[in-house]
Amino acid sequence: MTSYTEYLQPTMESTRAFLDNLLARYDWMLSFSHSPDFAALMATNAVPTRFQAGQLHASIQDLDPSIHEIQAEIDLLRNTATSLESQMLRLTAIRHDYKGPLSPIRRLPGEVLAEILRSTRECRRSKCYYVSGFDVFNLSNGPWYLGQVCSAWRVAVETFCPDLWSELTIEFPEGLQTSAVRPTFPFFGRNMVALLERALERSRSCRLDFSFRYTGYNEISATYSEAEEDVMRQCFDLLLAHSMRWRLVELIIPPFLLSRISRLRGRVDNLQGMYLTCEETAEPGNINAFEIAPELKTLHLTDMHPEAVIMFPRGNLIAFLDARLLSSTERTPEYLDIITSCPNLLSFSYLVSIYRR
């Protein structure tokens, strides 16, 4: 690299000589003084005589050129200083660029950088939902965003931070293919499945806390298309394949996905909390998906079919909620049995309605 000190040394010497000569040109001002007659005139309020007035005008005319000359020199120096300041800022920026590769953070081990990145994970709990995490389908969110900063961060996020990928939100807004939604939901179709698959891969063996929700369906206007159903099925099946890692799960699903949870039976050994919501149009019958869930502590059921029977273990259960339409079958004995057979139960809620919400 060029030595800037060697380059600037002769320039600085010539600049200093120029400034010394510039100041020396006006040394005569140091010895300038008023004449005795002018000093006497200034000591009074007397009106100058015609002769004195002529002398004053002549003196003013003599000084004007020097004043204009000095002002021109000042303007030149001021413009020069402004230009030099601009050049200094440029050199400062260049120096900053040179210091960048020497930054201590570049020498941080990946494991240490990972600990720093983990501290960026904020609490994403929502008042509207039980389980929340980073938006899997938003590349400006969560670990997707952190990995865009630089290659070192990307490696750290992908390699050393599986826990950053273990809290997810998989949300399908109403009418994915409509013009009103697609501009804010650009990853419709196979990209959505690929994004979820990549996130699950990067979570490795971490326990999964996630919310899978599709809230756009109602019985009157089933607005989802076949393509949307297919995408939801693929994403749901991906999550089912990782069910042994489920810990806290919230499912807000349309009826066509409810039957698929039967695959969970015997494959949710680490499930501690399940918050399941489905439409009232779901078919009646037994749901045994959570029958073998030895760690289950919280079970919330919302909008299940009035006649549906959900089987679950009771040894560790501490919180139970069931909110559904009024059943034609008397369920009081069933709920009393739940209360008496759950030794650790702390919270029990049964909400019944005669109207569909």
Q: What is the distance between the alpha carbons of residues 168 and 211, in angstroms, rounded to a whole number?
A: 6
Same domain, 240 and 319: yes
For residue 214, what pLDDT is reported? 81
Same domain, 279 and 192: yes
For residue 5, what pLDDT is reported? 57
Domain count along the chain: 2
251: enclosing H helix or E strand: strand 246-253
For residue 337, what pLDDT is reported? 94
Q: Is residue 75 part of a domain?
A: yes
Q: What is the distance between the alpha carbons of residues 176 and 188, in angstroms, rounded to a whole number?
A: 7
For residue 116, what pLDDT is reported? 87
For residue 241, what pLDDT is reported? 97
DSSP string, 278-332: E-TTSPPSEE-TTSS-TT--EEEEEEE-TT-EE----SS--EEEEEEEPPSS--H
Q: Is residue 2 part of a domain?
A: no
State the chain's maximal CA–CA distance in angstroms: 126
For residue 184, what pLDDT is reported? 44
Q: Is residue 226 part of a domain?
A: yes
Same domain, 154 and 89: no
SS3 per residue for 73-136: HHHHHHHHHHHHHHHHHHHHHHHHHHHHHHCHHHHCCHHHHHHHHHCCCCCCCCCCCCCCCEEC
- Percentages helix, strand, coil for the chain (3-state, rounded to 5) are 50, 15, 35
Same domain, 141 and 221: yes
Same domain, 164 and 235: yes
Those residues of the chain that have pLDDT short of 70 are 1-13, 122-127, 173-190, 215-224, 279-282, 354-357
In this structure, which amino acid lies at residue 160? F
Structural domain containing residue 269: 128-350
Tokens at 316, concatenated: 């560790």
